[in-house]
Chain A
Amino acid sequence: MRYDIEIPPTADGALEVTVVSWIKAVGDPVSKGQDLAEATTEKITLYVTAPAEGTLSEIIVAAGSKVKVGTVIGVLEGA
């Protein structure tokens, strides 16, 4: 099963965050809840975590890009 990896909701309105870094690489096995990426607004760091156990199969939004909260930034292939 494929899971979308989204920037978690932080705010009312269309808050923009910057994907700072990917902690995991494509092909890495991950367990549910593990940190996958870090995103930040000016004063808030948000951890994007694995929605399920599986393998990080795709990075859609590269580190350094600005996206809105809720944007799908990667895909996880469930175990």
Chain B
Amino acid sequence: MMAAEKQTGYWLDLGLTQYAPAFAIQEQILQARLDGQLAPTVILQENLPILTIGRSGSRDNILSSPENLEQLGIEVLEVNRGGDVTYHGPGQLIVSPLLYLGDIGLNANQYLHRLEDVLIELLACYDIHAGKKEGHPGVWREEAKIAAVGIAVKHGYTFHGFSLNLNPDLEAFNLINPCGVRQMPVTSIRQVLGQSPPMAQIKTRLREILHKNFALETRTAIWSDLARNLKR
């Protein structure tokens, strides 16, 4: 069997940002992908504290009062990924590969599980033995979730993706039933290892693993350059 043809694309690291403007960028990139204007793009970000509610979610899974959340400076937003409520904040890496399922030869469900494989491989680089749990998407270290997955697909084009806990404030997950599950334990690389490797090192390793899994080669891009090209 011939190997899938290697795709070239972009690696777009938005750094620490608010959720909403970063998602607006993701939507513009998705539209450009749908219009055939832009190569596959992997978007990385860390968000300022926010609770997002996915399409299967409910505000009932937020255990904290709106007043308390406001006091803590935590926003709440309904978003169009699959899944329920989750927390995003500094120390958590969010990765959204904007790929075309036809290019990678996977259906949506297989792609979701491939993202879990990518995370398991990444964690194994740090001697963290993580795995999948039948019927409970995400990546688990023993009974605690270390990474969450939630994707959306339009015309075969993927968006959203996964979030991996390096060293976020795990207390924040007590404000919710994460992914709609009551008292679901959440962990982080820091909690497992006692410290987290630098974010930049994790990103470099992740990039290699994503390249290998999706026959992809990305070059580093900045949003203003991509945006300028899209407007032409």
B180 and chain A: residue at smallest CB distance: A42
* Mask: chain B, 136-171; 1 = CB below 8 Å from A; 0 = not: 010000000000011111111000100000000000
List, in ascending order, chain B residues with CB within 8 A of A9's CB: 107
* Mask: chain B, 111-153; 1 = CB below 8 Å from A; 0 = not: 0100000000000000000000000010000000000011111
A35 and B81 alpha carbons, distance in the complex (Å): 15
List, in ascending order, chain A residues with CB within 8 A of B155's CB: 33, 47, 49
B149 touches A43 (CB 8 A): yes
For window 13-62 of A, CB contacts with B under 8 Å fall at 15, 18, 20, 33, 35, 38, 40-47, 49
List, in ascending order, chain A residues with CB within 8 A of B204's CB: none
Which listed residue (B80, B107, B151, B156) contacts A43, Cβ 8 A?
A: B151
List, in ascending order, chain A residues with CB within 8 A of B154's CB: 35, 47, 49
B82 touches A42 (CB 8 A): yes
Min CB distance, B99 to chain A, in Å? 14
B110 touches A45 (CB 8 A): no
A8 and B137 alpha carbons, distance in the complex (Å): 21
A11 at the interface (CB under 8 A from B): yes
Which listed residue (B55, B110, B112, B137) contacts A20, Cβ 8 A?
A: B55
B56 at the interface (CB under 8 A from A): yes
For window 93-116 of B, CB contacts with A under 8 Å fall at 107-110, 112
Which listed residue (B34, B54, B109, B160) contacts A10, Cβ 8 A?
A: B109
B83 at the interface (CB under 8 A from A): yes
List, in ascending order, chain B residues with CB within 8 A of A10's CB: 107-109, 153
A8 and B151 alpha carbons, distance in the complex (Å): 15
B110 touches A44 (CB 8 A): no
B107 touches A41 (CB 8 A): no
A45 and B7 alpha carbons, distance in the complex (Å): 25
List, in ascending order, chain A residues with CB within 8 A of B108's CB: 10-11, 44, 46
Which listed residue (B34, B83, B107, B160) contacts A42, Cβ 8 A?
A: B83
A39 and chain B: residue at smallest CB distance: B55
Which listed residue (B55, B83, B110) contacts A11, Cβ 8 A?
A: B110
List, in ascending order, chain A residues with CB within 8 A of B107's CB: 9-12
A18 touches B152 (CB 8 A): no
A45 touches B151 (CB 8 A): yes
Q: Which 3 A-B pairs have the closest CB atoms?
A: A11-B109, A45-B152, A10-B108
- Residues in chain A within 8 A of chain B (CB atoms): 8-12, 15, 18, 20, 33, 35, 38, 40-47, 49
* 26 chain-A/chain-B pairs, Cβ below 8 angstroms: A9-B107, A10-B107, A10-B108, A11-B107, A11-B108, A11-B110, A12-B107, A15-B109, A33-B34, A33-B155, A40-B54, A40-B55, A42-B56, A42-B82, A42-B137, A43-B82, A43-B137, A44-B109, A44-B153, A45-B80, A45-B81, A45-B153, A46-B152, A47-B152, A47-B154, A49-B154
